[in-house]
Structures are given as structure tokens and as C-alpha cells.
């Protein structure tokens, strides 16, 4: 008995743990803590952003991808800390979940996505390295645009909502500072009574999560590089 168990006392002789090479997707639930975000018709953005983000991470894991969240509870996290977390984790992609509001008209509804092009220089270089291109190559911004378009289209299809397009916002810190393709998704308008009512329901949050996941899966399959940061060998 002693002879068969001696190696348990020698951890240096145990085989190293296997490294998980699957791409890591970070889902960022917008706002939190003292920052409630926007609100409309009794619906608070920080709450439904968190519940939708949690559902999205769960859906991604069920599809075989690695997923983690910037927050799992109602806490405040600075934009700088969110970006730092994504970069330290070596994420393949970031999706930041938000809900919109406008004073223009309560009739405005639907989903729109935002990217930052160009990113800040260090982030630009990191994505370029991932792609194997110069940091000023248009492919760097195109990677985030492709991610945004895939997610937006899939969410519109799954959640049966209006498509409001992809927009470039270079001033968005969480998408500008992250060292991977990144998109901020405005899932609905809380200034629209129908959008707000649907966004508050678990069923529609599940549809949003499924749409985001579908878009991520489609995007990852279309990449000319492995989303772990390693080049895919030419065939």
C-alpha cells in the first residue's frame, strides 16, 4: 500500500496539467454598482445587462467555448479595469453587453453594435500580431467589424428585433483598449416601451444570449487565424 502511493508526496513527478487551448471569450456586463446605466419603463440597464451577460457566458460554455465574465454581481468596475482584465486573460474576443436609450423618439428600437477603429496603439499592435499583419493594416479594424456584424445579424435574427447597424466609436474605452477584436452591443432601447418590456423578460434575455453566441460562433469559424492567437497553418 505504501509503495503504491508514495508518488502522491512528490508533486514534482506528476504530469503537468493540460493547457486549455480553446479560445477565451470575455463577456462584459455593462455598468454595475453605483453606475446603474440608463433606465426606462422601470427597467434598469445594469440589472438586465448582467443577467443577459450571464446567460451568454453559459450559452458559450454549452457550445464548447471558454467564457468568463468581467462581473458576476452588482459591483462597479472602471472601464480601465475591465480592459486590463481582458488583456491579462489573453482573450480572443470581448463582447460588452449594454442597453440603449434615446430622447429623439420612443419609437426607436432595435440592436446596434459599436467598435473602436483605430484602437489605442498597444491594442492595435496586439491585434495586428494576432493577424500577422502590420499594425496599420486595415485588417486590424476589420476583425472587430466582422465580429460586430456577425453578432448584430445573429441577434436580430434570434431575438426578432430591428437592425440598426454597426457604428465606429474610437472613444469607447472598453473596445479601444482591449488587445483583441471587441464589440459593444446595445441590445435594445429602454426608451422604447416594447423593447423595455421584452428586455426585462428571461425569455428574451435568453434569445439575446443565443444570438450573441451564434454570432461569435459564426465569426470564429470564418477567421483566417486561430482565435487563441496562433496562426492557422496554410492548407
pTM of the predicted model as reported, rounded to 2 decimal places: 0.88
Count helices and strands (H / E) in the chain: 8, 8
pLDDT at position 17 is 57
pLDDT at position 15 is 54
CATH topology of domain 22-222: Aminopeptidase (3.40.630)
How many angstroms separate the CA atoms of 111 and 99, rounded?
Answer: 9
Angle at 179 between CA 175 and CA 180, to 5 degrees: 75
Low-confidence ranges of the chain (pLDDT < 50): 1-11, 228-235
pLDDT at position 72 is 98
pLDDT at position 234 is 31
**Hey, what's the torsion of the CAs at 185, 30, 191, 193, to 10 degrees?**
90
Which H or E run includes 118? none
In this predicted model, what pLDDT tens digit does every residue of 160-188 receive, in sequence order?
999 999 999 999 999 999 999 999 999 99
In this predicted model, what pLDDT tens digit does every residue of 74-93 receive, in sequence order?
999 999 999 999 999 999 99
pLDDT at position 229 is 43
Angle at 214 between CA 97 and CA 169, to 5 degrees: 40
Q: Where are the domains of the chain?
A: 22-222
Amino acid at each position: 500500500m505504501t509503495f503504491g502511493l508514495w508518488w502522491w508526496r512528490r508533486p514534482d513527478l506528476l504530469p503537468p496539467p493540460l493547457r486549455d487551448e480553446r479560445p477565451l471569450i470575455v463577456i462584459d456586463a455593462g455598468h454595475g454598482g453605483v453606475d446603474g446605466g440608463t433606465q426606462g419603463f422601470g427597467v434598469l440597464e445594469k440589472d438586465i445587462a448582467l443577467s443577459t451577460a450571464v446567460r451568454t457566458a453559459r450559452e458559450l460554455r454549452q457550445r464548447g467555448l471558454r467564457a468568463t465574465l468581467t462581473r458576476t454581481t452588482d459591483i462597479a468596475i472602471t472601464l480601465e479595469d475591465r480592459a486590463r482584465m481582458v488583456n491579462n486573460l489573453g482573450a480572443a474576443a470581448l463582447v460588452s453587453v449594454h442597453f440603449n436609450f434615446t430622447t429623439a423618439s420612443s419609437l426607436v428600437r432595435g440592436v446596434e453594435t459599436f467598435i473602436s477603429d483605430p484602437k489605442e496603439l498597444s491594442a492595435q499592435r496586439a491585434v495586428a500580431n494576432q493577424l500577422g499583419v502590420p499594425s496599420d493594416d486595415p485588417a486590424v479594424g476589420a476583425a472587430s467589424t466582422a465580429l460586430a456584424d456577425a453578432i448584430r445579424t445573429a441577434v436580430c435574427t434570434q431575438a426578432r428585433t430591428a437592425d440598426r447597424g454597426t457604428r465606429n466609436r474610437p472613444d469607447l474605452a472598453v473596445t479601444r483598449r482591449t488587445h483583441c477584436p471587441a464589440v459593444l452591443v446595445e441590445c435594445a432601447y429602454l426608451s422604447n416601451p416594447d423593447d423595455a418590456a421584452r428586455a426585462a423578460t428571461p425569455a428574451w434575455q435568453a434569445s439575446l444570449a443565443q444570438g450573441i453566441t451564434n454570432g461569435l460562433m459564426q465569426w470564429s469559424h470564418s477567421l483566417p487565424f486561430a482565435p487563441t492567437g496562433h496562426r492557422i497553418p496554410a492548407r
